[in-house]
Every structure is written in C-alpha cells, then in structure tokens.
Structure 1
Amino acid sequence: MRARGWALGGEQSGHVIDLGFCPSGDGVATALLTLEALGDGDLAERDAMDKLPQRLVNVPVGDRDAAMASTELAAAIDRENGALEGRGRVLVRASGTEQLVRVMVEAPGDEEADDVCGRLVALVRETAGVA
C-alpha cells in the first residue's frame, strides 16, 4: 500500500487497513471507521454497498515476486482499472504465504468480470512462464 501511495486497503478475508488510523488490520478499528463513515446515515439505505460480480483466480507461479515485477503486468492492471473506474476494480497481488498471484476483478456484469480476469490471468501466466 505504501509503495503505491494508498491509505486504505482490504481483502475478501475481511482484513481492512487504514494507514491513517492503524498500520495493521484490526477488526475493532474497522468497525469504528465504518460507523464514523456512516455518520447519521440510515443503515437501510446501503445502495452504495451493492455487490458486483467478482472473480478471484489464484495463479500458481514459480516466483511470485518476479511475476509481480513485470512492467507489462503493471501496465495491464492500470489499463483494466482505468476501464473499470467508477464501475468496478481490479486487484492483482502476490500471496503472502504461497507461490501464487491472486487476480481479483469486480465488474458490473459477469461477462465483463470474466473477460477482464481472463486477460489478467493469462498475462500473469505469460510473464511468470507458466503454461
């Protein structure tokens, strides 16, 4: 997060980090920040929290750090994120515990999520030399 200049990050597992508040994932901190963000809002009005179709593919690689060092992959991630801006998102990251690169895509529709995820998975495999 720091390398990319991001202040807020999270994972599907529930880890949420707000570097301006706490330097690690903390459930109580996340709950407090969520309540603060909601303010006096009505919890029944959660339209902004509608779930998008999500695809998550764990790509086995020989060297996760080398795979993530690809400038071609970085450019593709930026390009796909740009195309989804305001409608979805892309997260590609090396696993912290396994020799995997995790490719996650959220998009407004199933077909778009599948297409974006497929392109990025193929590129991860290509840059990592995986068939």
Structure 2
Amino acid sequence: MLSVTRKPYPSDLTDREWALLEPLIPSTKPGGRPASIPRREIVNALLYVLCQGTSWRALPHDFPHWKTVYEYFRLWKKTGVWEKASQKLVRTYRSLDGRNEDPSAAVLDSQSVKTTQKGG
C-alpha cells in the first residue's frame, strides 16, 4: 500500500506496478544512514515530471524536494537502472501477452542509423 499522507496523482504507481519495479530500484547502501524518503515516492515524483512534462523545479511541494528527486534520477540513469528496468518490464509484459520475452525482429529507418557523411 502507498504509505504517504498526500493525495495520489494519476501518475503514481499502483501497488501492482510498484511490485514489478521495486526489485529493480537500488536500495540504500549497507552501513549507510537509513533512507528518509521512500524509494516509491522518488519514483512517483519522477513519473510526475515525466507525465506532466513539467520542470524539476515545478515539482509539487508534497513530493520530495526537486533536487533530491533529480539527483536520484541522474544517479539511476548513470548506473543503468532505467535501462535495466525498461528491459525487464518489456520482457515481463511480452511474456504476459503470450509472446517470446525477447523480440525476434527490429525496425530501423534512415533516421535511426548513422551513415557516412557522403552518400555512396
């Protein structure tokens, strides 16, 4: 259950979504000080920024401070958390849809593939 005292936003994770994502989000380091902000609230704040298209500084005050949220976003991006989460979620949903977890084909177009500067 969501254990925060604020009203939920439409972009907040459901309990089911959090259950899928939580194992992919790094926990606090052993021996470090305990986390004062739940990881789920950080992710909810990130999703708010993403879904609303707002700036970090415009994050509502009932979320953790925008600088904290931004720093977690940058750290998790740098360490590959979002890439791993994306891959895991794609595999999970492909499996739930009765398809092979790994796609067997990809689509590329001329805008996606870099070529030499001069045409051949």
Q: What range describes the TM-score normalised by the shorter chain of this pair?
A: under 0.3
TM score, norm. by length of structure 1: 0.26
Name the structure with the higher strand share.
1
Name the structure with the higher helix share.
2
Q: Which has the larger radius of gyration?
A: 2
| Structure with larger RCO (C-alpha < 8 A, sep 6+) | 1
